[in-house]
Structures are given as structure tokens and as C-alpha cells.
Amino acid sequence: MLRIIRPYLNAFAVRRAYAPLLAATFVLLAAGPLAAQTQPDIAAPQAILMDFESGSVLFERAADTSSPPASIAKLMTMAVVFREISEGRLSQDQEFKVSEYAWRRGGAPSGGATMFAAVNSQIKVSDLLRGAIVPSGNDAAIVLAEGISGNELAFTVKMNAEAKRLGLSGSTFVNASGLADPDQKTTPRDMAKTAMHIIADYPELYRIYSEPDFLWNKIRQSNRNPLLGMSLGADGFVTGYQKEGGFNLVGSAIQNGQRLIVVIMGSKSEKERAEDARKLLEWGFRSFESKLLFEPGQIVGEATLYGGERGGAPLTSTTPVRVLIARNGDDKLVARIRFEGPIRAPVEKGAEIARLFVYRGEQIALDVPLVAAESVPEGPLWRRAMDGAYELVVSLLRQGYAKLTG
């Protein structure tokens, strides 16, 4: 596969094309014919399977459709709590009081998932974390939210801010527990991104997700994640159910150093969501392997500059760029560099100015940021004048084309 890709990459055989929104696209590579990869037959209306290391998407179905999350919304709750801990604003030894609101809405009287926290008791953050993760306790999630922000509504401001920071475009959070609310929604892709963020940024805290059970108030509860007992290498995440949205699951498993993230949404039963998640994970581990496209610092392509000392800025990635390819037979992968352009000079080395998209057919298999590999200063007046005249002509041609095709 790489023997086919690299000659295209190294030769920079590119073609520039302008989209109506001034997005320049460079076609970088093309490989052999698409392998006949038999995808697993799953029942879930929404799903996604992603490779953790590369971010490659191996399977997706309605992955950007917003739906009720139920308890998988607790992934964002934990993302906020973990960040508070990692940045020193919250200690696991701190104690929070169980309010009557948290007890009634998420505790024993509620009839839902609970850690059985006693009203008005004081509980350490370390125990609340386990109560919110292992049995997916709604009371524990609410107590954490109240302890950090004063009330649950204020905590959701942090949840939505974190969602924006992580680039989640299809999610809105209105409570910390995932209890039913018509305004609370998420997508499989957003949940997969959140899961990857937790594993990458909070590996020590992520280990809680693999704990098999949790004892509180003399009640021992098993971990609700069905994947943990399937010999898949699963080590975490969460399930959820809501009448309006069905049965949901976020899972992660690792085999031979390769980690996959699976999200299932809208299943009709617990058994169906577990079986679909198992099928996707087994298929992903069996069918794909990771391949390196670019080393950190290797030149990937070039972005067009306006008014610079030269007409382009070389692009690179600060991290290895990997993509999953089919183990048997050739894949068809096409990579494109996209940026809003032309980019006005000067450009500083390390500035993020473009993104690399790798496609498997119509599916985006990889999306990584690209930075300027070196600084490009502003050019002399004559070059800026020539670039300005060129862009004016291109703009007029584009407007004329838009009128003809409108």
C-alpha cells in the first residue's frame, strides 16, 4: 500500500481547485482499487467504529445524527470532572454533600441507575467517580456537578464549553446524569471523540472504567459495560437507555497494541446493542492494520499564499499521521489538503493553517490538522500587487460560474 502511495506524495503531483467558499483542495494520493471489505451486519440505526491512534473511521452509520444520549452523556460529565482534577481545581480527597435534589432525582427514590448515596451524607470525590462510572449512578453524577459548580445547570455550562473545545458539533447537554430531556442530544461521532479524549488525556482516571464492581452502602453493583466480559480486550466506557432513543453504548477495546472505539445508538434491546458492538470490534481488529503515512515534520504538501515572499507555505504535521488500511487486498484512499485560502502572508512556523483529510470512498477515514513547516514573510510590493490582480480575476470568474450554475 505504502509503495503505491509514497511516489504520489513525494512527487507532489497536485492540482489546485477553488471551491465557492475559497477552499483550496490538493489531491495528494490515489491507490489501487477498493478492496471488497464485507462490513458486519448490524441492526443499530446509528453507529461508528474508530481507530484510537490514527482517528481513522472504519465504519459509520448516521454517525452525525443527533439523538438522545441517555447515560452515555456521562462521558462529557466525566470529561469535565477529570479536567478539574488534572488542572488542580479538584482533589479526589474532597468531600461533597448529597443534596436532597441529587438524592430524589438520581438516588434510590428515582428508580434509575444509582450508587445509593444517602441524602445529606458527605462522600469523597474518589468514591463519587466510581459511583458515576461503574454502576452509572445518576446521583453520583449530580453530586459531582453540584459540588463543582454549585448546581447542575451551572455545571452544564462547563459541559457545553468542553464540547465546543473538543469540536463536538452535534451535542447539547442540559444535565450531568443523562436523564431524559428533549433538549439533550449527541451523535455517535461526538461520543467517540469524547471517549478518545478521555483515554488520551486522562489515562490514569480512565482505568476506573475497567473496575468490575463497586460497593457502597453495603450494596455491590457490577460494571454495566457488557463488553468487559466478552474477551475482546475491552477496558471501558458506558451504556445508556432512554425510551425515546433506545439502547446506547460507548466502548473501547485493545488488541495487540491496537485500540478501537465503538459507539452504538438506538438499539432495540440490551442484547442487540452488545452484539452489534461486539461484531464491529471483532471485524475492525480482524480487517484492518495501521500504516504510517507521514512522520512528524515530514512535508505533506503546500498551501497557497497571497502576498508572500513566495507563493506557498510547506505543510507538515506535529504528530505521526497514520491510517488504517485493509489487511487483505488494496484499499482505495484519497487524501486532500483543505484550507480557507489563499492564505495571506506573513505565516509563522507552527501556525495551523490547513487540514489533511483522507477518504475511503465517500467516508472520511482521517482528519488531522496541518501546520506551516516554516515561516514565510510578506513579499515585496510588486508580488503583492500581482497576487492581488490574480485573486481579483479568479474571484470574478468564480462569481460568473456561480451565476451560470445557479
59 and 159 part of one domain? yes
> Where a domain ends, among 287, 314, 348?
287
Tell me the CATH number at 78.
3.40.710.10
**Higher local confidence (pLDDT), 13 or 349:** 349
Query: Which residue reads 454549585 in cell numbers?
Result: 150
Query: What residues contact residue 335 under an 8 Å CB cut-off, 6+ apart?
Result: 27, 28, 29, 293, 356, 357, 358, 359, 366
Tally of domains in the chain: 2
Quote the DSSP letter at residue 118.
Answer: P
Task: Give percent of the chain above pLDDT 70.
Answer: 83
80 and 160 part of one domain? yes
- CA pair distance 307, 372, nearest whole angstrom: 16
| pLDDT of 5 above 50 | no
> Where a domain ends, among 261, 287, 313?
287
> Where a domain ends, among 262, 287, 312?
287
Q: Which domain holds residue 156?
A: 46-287
114 and 256 part of one domain? yes
Residues across the chain? 406
Identify the pLDDT of residue 19.
34
308 and 332 part of one domain? yes
Q: What is the pLDDT of residues 150-186, one digit of tens each?
A: 999 999 999 999 999 999 999 999 999 999 999 999 9
- CA pair distance 47, 63, nearest whole angstrom: 6
Q: What is the pLDDT of residues 295-328, one digit of tens each?
A: 999 999 888 887 778 878 999 999 999 888 888 7
Q: Is residue 40 part of a domain?
A: no
Tell me the CATH number at 14.
2.60.410.10
Beta strands 299-306 and 343-344 are parallel
State the amino acid at position 291 in one-letter form.
K
- CA pair distance 199, 260, nearest whole angstrom: 11
**Closest-CA residue to 189 (of 76, 67, 63):** 63
309 and 361 part of one domain? yes
244 and 103 part of one domain? yes
Q: What is the pLDDT of residues 251-300, one digit of tens each?
A: 999 999 999 999 999 999 999 999 999 999 999 999 988 888 899 999 99
In sequence order, the β-bridge partners of residue 262 are: 49, 251
122 and 248 part of one domain? yes
Q: Which residues are catalytic?
A: 71, 74, 136
207 and 330 part of one domain? no
Q: Is residue 37 part of a domain?
A: no
Q: How far is CA 395 from the centre of its chain?
A: 35
Is the distance from CB of 188 to CB of 42 less than 8 angstroms?
Answer: no
Query: Cell digits for 141?
Result: 453524577
51 and 190 part of one domain? yes
133 and 109 part of one domain? yes
Region 48-53: what's the mean pLDDT?
Answer: 95
Query: Cell digits for 275?
Result: 452484539
